[in-house]
Amino acid sequence: MKRSRIVGTGSYVPSRVVGNEEVAATLELDPDQIVALTGIRTRHWVEPGQASSDLAVVAGQRACEAAGLAPKSVEAILVSTTSPDSAFPSTACHVQRALGADSIMAFDLSASCSGFLYGLSTADVMIRSGHIRSCLVIAAEVKSQSLNVADKETAMLFGDGAGAVVVVQDDSVRPDASGILGVRLYADGSGHGLITIPAGGSRNPTRVETIRANEHMLRLRGSAVFRSAVRHLEQAVGDLLKEFGLEAGDLTRVIAHQANARILEQLRRRLGLSSDVLYSVIDRYGNTSSASLPIALDHAVRAQRVAAGDLVLLGAFGGGLTWATGLVRW
């Protein structure tokens, strides 16, 4: 039976580092308060003229280099983003052109902070079905362009960046072979308004009034999102472990969406994980939405915190509401 396997990871963040001192100045907060509330010390924001596709291209190149594949040899490019270069054409087509991967399938998908796992699941299904043999999955976000710097719920949290993986077909029949064991996806549209940019779409088009009301800026109901994230992810992780006959103690590494250090800690405690199992880089990069999970994964791989044979659990939660889990034998 065909299975898919991650053979390369990559990530990229803009060169501009934004510390808590700069963010706190517009929020009337002490920089240390931001650390206490979020666990974030720095984040990276784009320079003028940088777009999501620019970040995605570098992350994709690095993932291909790690996999030992030329970008033009992959058979599909999937880009998760909620901050596309433009409404259309897709950011993936910009990436495809820049990578020189002519004529292959390329498209965007939008599932907020869960988007990378939605993309990984799509690649896994297409490879298992025999439709393609390789796929570059990228998550790229430029959140700094939609932040109200005076909004305490969002301004301190978000950064920009991109993360990527190369997924290929693997025909090994060994039950303990490396590969994606399963990805499970969920959504609950009743929570649509918890994380949103209210204006700019067909329901509420851009007008002078929407601009004056800051309706093109990211809005987040922090407390409600916190509760929902912990509850849904705890349940989804438990269901995934039960499905595969595993316990939390069987996991070598857990890498979850880097939304907020307090969410990560609550999740760790509820799952009964030791502190060294949950991997995090949120202190350096903040919340980069769907890019946060693959950025953390790439850092873990390059720091040799993920090794061959490790059982790695992935989890994410975001607007929609959406959430997702994945289990990988590295």
- How far is 288 from 49, CA to CA, in rounded Å? 18
Mean pLDDT along residues 165-175: 87
User: Count of CB atoms within 10 A of residue 295's CB?
Assistant: 30
Dist CA 139 CA 163 (whole Å): 5
Selection from 18, 289, 325 nearest residue 162 by Cα: 289
Model confidence pLDDT, tens digit, residues 221-268:
878 888 898 999 999 999 999 999 999 999 999 999 999 999 999 999
* 177-193: average pLDDT: 94
Minimum mean pLDDT among 76-90, 166-180, 203-217: which range? 166-180
Residue type, 183: V
Tell me whether the omega of the peptide bond preceding residue 321 falls within 30 degrees of 0, making it cis. yes
**For the chain, percent helix, then strand, then coil, each to nearest 5?**
40, 25, 35
Task: Tell me the per-residue pLDDT of 131-153, one tens digit each, with 9 for 90 and over.
Answer: 999 999 999 999 999 999 999 99
Catalytic option among 94, 257, 260, 299: 257
Q: What are phi and psi of 321, to 5 degrees?
A: -70, 150
Residues 109, 79 contacting (CB under 8 angstroms): yes
Confidence of residue 1 (pLDDT cuts 50, 70, 90): low
pTM higher than 0.85, yes or no?
yes
pLDDT of residue 275 exceeding 90, the answer is no
Q: Which fold has domain 3-170?
A: Peroxisomal Thiolase; Chain A, domain 1 (3.40.47)
Would you call 287 a catalytic residue per the annotation?
yes
- Tally DSSP H helices, then E strands, for the chain: 10, 14
Please provide the average confidence, as pLDDT, over all residues in the chain: 95
Question: Which of the following is catalytic: 44, 94, 113, 135?
Answer: 113
pLDDT of residue 42 exceeding 70, the answer is: yes
Q: What is the pLDDT of residue 232?
A: 93
At 51-62, the pLDDT tens digits run: 999 999 999 999
Which spans in 68-170 are helix H?
91-99, 115-128
Model confidence pLDDT, tens digit, residues 69-93:
999 999 999 999 999 999 999 999 9
Q: What is the largest CA-CA distance in the chain?
A: 61
Which DSSP category does 255 fall into? E
How would residue 172 be classed by pLDDT, with cut points 50, 70 and 90? confident
Is there a common fold for 3-170 and 179-329? Answer: yes
Residue 97, C-beta contacts closer than 8 angstroms, at least 6 positions apart: none
Length of the chain: 330
Q: Which residues pair with 326 in a beta bridge?
A: 183, 314
Confidence check: pLDDT of 276 > 70 = yes
User: What's the rounded Cα separation, in Å, for the pair 2 and 93?
Assistant: 28
Q: How far apart are CA 132 and CA 264, in angstroms?
A: 35
Tell me the fold of 179-329: Peroxisomal Thiolase; Chain A, domain 1 (3.40.47)
Q: Please state the domain extents for the chain.
A: 3-170, 179-329
Percent of the chain with pLDDT over 70: 99
